[in-house]
Structure 1
């Protein structure tokens, strides 16, 4: 195999040199950036496991906007709120497209969904209908009983195993909870406590997330796409796509069964199939479109909610002062019940500030989702050519000392005296993006997040396992589009005195 690879590389050397000289590209109007090599550009310098940290270091050298050469593709990285506003608001239409990614296209039915779809009429109609029929306040509220039921089960599970010497693996528990809530909302299934089936489902999710985050040579150097095949990526993509496609088809068939018995509450698949049947679109909505939207909801919602919940509890256990304040706010209210519901937590300003501060420091997607310019424009005083990939390093701008006082400190009070929010209007806090491509599922994510955290903090006091100090709790992140905590968060739950 090694000799074959060497032979292939030698055979390709001369054509590559000719191709490079014929198709070489120049940095967009001399935007500063790290120097790269012929053909591959800066690809050899990048580590996909911590791109946001690398880009943050580059921004200290080259400024709040710098350029990269990713094979034959040009890219810029934006690291300040001011320039992010130029991209995501002033030139939002120009930057509403997505760069094409081989892995994403395979896994999302040729981008027949919301997150990775190109900016076109199909995307506009799918998003509009999803916002109206799936992510509306009324629809999100209709699922409140599911969220409450599953959170109650989680609290009961912790109670059953509570003991001064037994710790709770909150990372595992919250990932399971988030996926169960979304699966029940999306298609009335639960993969909790189902043994082999549960394990297989979560393995499928993990593999999907890993494949989304992979770097595919064919995206940047098309004539070297064979490397992706040699790395086994094609086979992994085909297997994972087939597994999910079979699952989705089984779910759709169940929903189309005329003898199916169910209550009056519609799940998301019901809604999508009704939209397909009623021909609410100007184009023919296919089952692939339905499966693509399910993919977005299943993966994005599970990932962001579980990751943010874990980061919030991580920050609180490392900051006992904040933990005490937020628990006093929740427990001093007139509410006295076993489980808090969504009406109970509307007037907890400090809890909401804790969530904002968590999303500031530990946002789920530090680089958001990349965009691509559809035409030439000017950003930060530089001319940006069409088809330039744009990364917005939200991780860096949300820790900008020119905006935030003591930016590395977890200090929720900073949000009590101002109106800054994460809805895409305040560019110093954009964990869900902004503009046309802002995440449409914010209401659903926030509803789950608030309910989960409020009940964890209301029902239990949380301590570190014996022998551990708060300084021992790490904040390292796993690679991926969504940044999960690398090591599980394990804490001891105690019944409040």
Structure 2
């Protein structure tokens, strides 16, 4: 109803400082107050691609009073993420994430600063280096073994593979980050799952009016959002306090495979307790949802495309012949598996919009003037389905990545499942290790079918909009043991 009334306001009421720019990017017409928010549907990445087809690969929108630059071509993404990476290295301030993540003490949402550079460097070298990620291979392999055991326990009855995959990724992160054993009772185990779910729901569905309409920040109090966020932040902090306290009290056994919390406690300055809690939270949130969703989409795509499934099973079963479980050392030889994972992340990108950036200063990009404070959205989903960059982009064809230099490390701007540049995801190796190991073991050990005689054509590949794109319906399968 409000939007209907706003249509009667003259468009010139939205005049803003962009009119003084020498040459701003093209913009769709705006409404007063709300700007272009009315043009964004339940799937923002789809709405933004439709607008970009009309207004171009660099497009300036207004979300309330906030200018937002939408990037929808590989050339434009390269300019933002490589040429002007430092200029666009800030994060927008979000009232919800600020309160949850200790007001910018974490890596993912903090503003660009010397503190951020130091903490990110520590995370990359101490927590997410190749050597450190490899040191946790036993934890991943043991959790995958328990996962396979649970599927076998279904005795070829219908299993909710989406739910089991989510449990697997949670269990791995629980062990690696917090040091708990997923197959034994632990006082953190239940709390950990509740905390992660609460934060993900908060980030996905609780939006602050003050982020887009600063003069309406009072509405967050009136609506109860501030109280809800503060309560969640208090519960999260209480959980993390207990984790840090118990790790302090534990005896150091000198084990090389310490969990992330123990490693952080050993580092010292600039890692104080609040920073440790913020980084722990980063690892838990970033490592669970997108990894589980990638696995869910990959398995659904393999079932939907039986020829691809058959080809992958042949590769994996040949290399793993005589083994009950694929180990990480086996993955090096599985080229088609790697192509399948890349294609899955291209076509079914869990996070279709790269985490927003913000311009730290005025800059000219591809002939357009961008003002400091402008937020930037890279539509990675649109890039990965651009027919000018990909042959038959709507088809699931892993072969496109065989003998191809295109990778997910952020150097190919048509393909950005993990972002790129300074603010790209530092946990790529950790996520890929889980994804490849899990998929290889599922296809090695089981033949999968849809329940109740359903044909693959009946598998619903519709996405559910949210913080990440899940399958709308859980992936239910009948898993018949192969070995």
- TM-score bracket for this pair, using the shorter chain length: over 0.9
Deviations 1:150-179 (A, max 9, x none): 00000011111122xx11111100111101
1:37 maps to 2:28: no
1:324 maps to 2:317: no
1:120 to 91, 113, 119: 113
Q: 1:435–1:387: structure 2 CA closer, same or farther, 3 Å change rule?
A: same
Q: What's the secondary structure of 1:272's corresponding residue?
A: helix
2:243 to 239, 251, 254: 251
Please state how far the C-alpha of 1:189 moved relative to its aligned partner: 2.2
1:236 to 221, 228, 231: 228
The equivalent residue for 1:379 is 365
CA distance in 1, matches of 2:294, 2:183: 20
CA distance in 2, matches of 1:204, 1:113: 17
Please state how far the C-alpha of 1:262 moved relative to its aligned partner: 8.4
Deviations 1:290-340 (A, max 9, x none): 111111100111112101000100110100000000000001126421111
CA distance in 1, matches of 2:438, 2:372: 43
- Name which of structure 1's ranges 175-184 and 66-75 shifts more when overlaid on structure 2: 66-75
Unpaired runs of 5+ in structure 1?
1-16
The equivalent residue for 1:130 is 123
CA distance in 1, matches of 2:290, 2:96: 20
CA distance in 1, matches of 2:183, 2:214: 42
Q: What's the secondary structure of 2:386's corresponding residue?
A: coil
2:283 to 289, 297, 306: 297
Determine if contact 1:209/1:480 at 8 Å carries over to the other structure. Answer: no
Q: What's the secondary structure of 2:467's corresponding residue?
A: coil
Deviations 1:191-235 (A, max 9, x none): 668699866643432221122234321011111112223333212
CA distance in 2, matches of 1:381, 1:81: 16
1:275 to 267, 276, 282: 267
Determine if contact 1:84/1:427 at 8 Å carries over to the other structure. Answer: yes
RMSD: 2.3
CA distance in 2, matches of 1:245, 1:286: 14
CA distance in 1, matches of 2:396, 2:466: 24
Deviations 1:275-295 (A, max 9, x none): 12xx3x4xxx32111111111
2:407 to 421, 444, 469: 421
The equivalent residue for 2:84 is 91
The equivalent residue for 1:65 is 58
Determine if contact 2:160/2:477 at 8 Å carries over to the other structure. Answer: yes
Unpaired runs of 5+ in structure 2?
1-8
CA distance in 2, matches of 1:26, 1:370: 20
Determine if contact 1:335/1:344 at 8 Å carries over to the other structure. Answer: no
Q: 1:412–1:85: structure 2 CA closer, same or farther, 3 Å change rule?
A: same
Q: What's the secondary structure of 1:100's corresponding residue?
A: coil
CA distance in 2, matches of 1:22, 1:319: 49
Determine if contact 1:212/1:480 at 8 Å carries over to the other structure. Answer: no
The equivalent residue for 2:212 is 220
The equivalent residue for 2:3 is none
CA distance in 2, matches of 1:310, 1:378: 41
Deviations 1:430-449 (A, max 9, x none): 11011111111001111111
The equivalent residue for 1:105 is 98
Q: 1:493–1:273: structure 2 CA closer, same or farther, 3 Å change rule?
A: same
**What does 1:315-464 correspond to in 2, within 5 Å?**
315-333=301-319, 335-464=321-450
Determine if contact 2:14/2:32 at 8 Å carries over to the other structure. Answer: no
CA distance in 2, matches of 1:468, 1:230: 49
Determine if contact 2:39/2:47 at 8 Å carries over to the other structure. Answer: no
Q: 1:270–1:412: structure 2 CA closer, same or farther, 3 Å change rule?
A: same
Q: 1:53–1:442: structure 2 CA closer, same or farther, 3 Å change rule?
A: same
The equivalent residue for 1:4 is none
The equivalent residue for 2:198 is 207
Q: 1:446–1:262: structure 2 CA closer, same or farther, 3 Å change rule?
A: same
Determine if contact 1:192/1:198 at 8 Å carries over to the other structure. Answer: no
TM-score scaled by length of structure 2: 0.92
CA distance in 1, matches of 2:443, 2:14: 62
CA distance in 2, matches of 1:118, 1:248: 22
Q: 1:144–1:355: structure 2 CA closer, same or farther, 3 Å change rule?
A: same
Q: What's the secondary structure of 2:463's corresponding residue?
A: coil
